[in-house]
Amino acid sequence: MDNFIVSARKYRPDTFSSVVGQNSITITLKNAIKNNHLAHAYLFCGPRGVGKTTCARIFAKTINCFNITSDFEACNECDSCKSFNESRSYNIHELDAASNNTVDDIRNLIEQVRIPPQVGKYSLYIIDEVHMLSASAFNAFLKTLEEPPAHAIFILATTEKHKIIPTILSRCQIFDFNRISIGDISNHLAYVAKNEAVVAESDALNVIAQKADGSLRDSLSIFDQIVSFAGNEISYKDVINNLNILDHEYYKTLTTAFLSGDISTSYLVFDEILRDGFDAHYFITGLSEYLRDLLVCKDNVTLKLLEVGDNLKEIYRTQANFCSIDFLYKALEITNKCDVSYKSAVNKRLHVEISLLELCNIQHTFDGSSAKIEKSIDPILIRKDTESTISKVETKIVSEPTNNTEIKQSSEKLIKEKSISLKKELAKNEIQTEVLVEKKEEKKEILDKELIQDDLDEVWKSFTQSIKVSEPRLNNILTQYLPTVIELNRIELKLESLLQQDVFNEAKQRILSYLKAELSNNKIDLITTVVEDTVNEDSKRLYTDNDKFNYLNEINPELSNFKQQFKLDFE
């Protein structure tokens, strides 16, 4: 029985042209070889599984190749290429910085760098996960990295560039690798499936690409897993069942329920999802993504942002035709609010169910807007309409034939009764008109109520209490900073940082609406200003983890040594 080789290793690129999704980087490296502009140090950084170490190996093999092709690729036939392909090359040295991160390890590397290559022009040193080196090791490496021997080239690879000290960054050419697009991953998976004689649906490969989150290596690992599960025929159902992914049919059914106001169906679908073992938070974020995709389908210009298979794309477009832009805006607002406040909710299932209730009520709210418009019609128009009705009734009755005296008398009596009835209705409408006008004037007086600081403080306190549990961050800001009436109907709130202002601005319209309603004044305007706290150093507030650590370190300097000794960092 032959040994199985995972697809991530079997289909690992061995030439620049076979690298997926990093065209700008491979072109730059090939041009450097073409023009003989080789730097002494490179830094490859980016997410996991996007080709950093692979490109480093290809680059190392190519610059030592004896017969470089016309398009500046390694020939894979010379002794240097063969030794590299068979993992017996002495010109290429790979070091794992996660397990070799001390000063002694770097000293050994420096000693090794002095030895010239036995075959080829260059000795390549590929240091993977270089951010794992200790601060002392970085400092010991600086001089050699800046001025290595002519035959030595360093290629550093990392997923966390921000952890590398600036003195190292300044000595390297930095290449930022992109996350690989879903389309590129899906196409590569189709190529691998064809070579492995696996029949796979395009929608199934697309789901695998989405699950891989921009990592080609992860997508190939998932592909192997699905093949082990489903055999040589992979369907969309096989993928979502094996990867425990919520099927889009759930979201499609829910959206239909929202449009029709069917609360029962939405609750039953949500219950089924929970019984299948899915997390409620995962469900609500998936619903937000589905609604976002429907919004993308509303415009042909943004349709390219929909990263799903062709079959699913048609399903999305069909349902998007039944959803109005206003409905999708409101639905996304509700799901986003549920997502943000989910962790702070005590009863998480009820929290999501309330959001589903609001979603089912959206269309009803839109439909009820016409009724509200009818109620707001001026009563004077009703009176004119009533007078017109009286005139039409009299005209209609008089115009009927009156040859018979009895019919004539009956008609006159009917005219009289109708006129009296409609005139009573007219009088009633006039009374209602006067009452409505009085109420309107009274309401206007209420809305023009003077803004008083004491009333503002009381309402402000009431609002902060109402969000104490659901929005603790906003509550902390509103409790700490109180607004001031600076002029007629104008309120100012002074904050200490732009971060506080951003948090406040997200809820500004909601706060303003609350103040207008509670203070009976629709002319209120609320402004915020950021004022730096420069009274003294002790009064400065600590916002970030780094600020807190620096403050504590000033009190106890041993904290810095403790952090360095145990290699601690902020999460």
Taking Cα atoms as reference points, which of 228, 231, 191, 230 lies closest to residue 209?
Answer: 191
275: how many CB neighbours lie within 10 A of its CB? 8
pLDDT at position 401: 45
CA distances 102 to 51, 133, 567, Å, are: 26, 7, 12
Count of other CB atoms within 10 angstroms of residue 45 = 22
pLDDT at res. 284: 92
Query: Which three-class secondary structure state does DSSP give residue 36?
Result: coil
User: Would you say 553 and 560 are in contact if contact means Cβ atoms under 8 Å apart?
Assistant: yes
Amino acid at position 394, single letter: E
Other beta carbons within 10 Å of 414: 13
Q: Which CATH superfamily is domain 7-176 in?
A: P-loop containing nucleotide triphosphate hydrolases (3.40.50.300)
CATH class given for the domain over 248-369: mainly alpha
Q: Which pLDDT belongs to residue 549? A: 78
Residue 231 tokens read as: 């055999």
Nearest to 320 by CA among 236, 248, 256, 249: 256
How would you write the pLDDT of the chain (571 residues) with one tens digit per residue?
A: 467 888 888 888 888 888 888 889 999 999 998 888 888 899 999 988 888 889 998 998 888 888 888 888 888 888 888 888 888 888 888 888 888 888 888 888 888 888 888 777 888 899 998 899 888 888 888 888 888 888 899 999 999 989 888 988 988 999 999 888 888 888 899 999 988 888 888 888 888 888 888 888 898 999 999 988 888 888 888 888 888 888 888 898 999 999 888 899 999 999 999 998 888 999 999 999 999 988 888 887 887 788 777 777 888 888 888 888 889 999 999 999 999 999 988 999 999 999 999 999 888 776 655 444 344 444 444 444 444 544 544 444 444 444 455 545 555 555 566 556 555 555 555 565 555 545 555 544 444 567 788 888 888 888 888 888 788 888 888 888 888 888 777 888 888 888 788 888 888 888 888 888 888 888 888 888 887 644 444 445 555 677 777 778 777 877 788 777 777 776 5
Nearest Cα residue to 207 out of 312, 317, 310, 308 = 308
Q: Is 53 left (phi over 0), alpha (psi -120 to 50) or beta?
A: alpha
Residue 317's pLDDT is: 85
d(CA 279, CA 398): 74
- Classify domain 182-242 at the CATH class level: mainly alpha
Enumerate the H helices of 124-201 as residue ranges: 135-146, 166-169, 182-195
Q: Is 297 helix (H, G, I), strand (E, B) or coil?
A: coil
Instruction: Give pLDDT, residue 370.
Output: 44
| CATH, domain range 453-538 | 3.30.300
Cα(443)–Cα(448) distance, integer angstroms: 9
Taking the C-alpha atoms of residue 119 and residue 104, their distance in angstroms, rounded to an integer, is 28
8-state DSSP, 126: E
Alpha helices in 133-175 (DSSP H): 135-146, 166-169
Dist CA 565 CA 144 (whole Å): 25
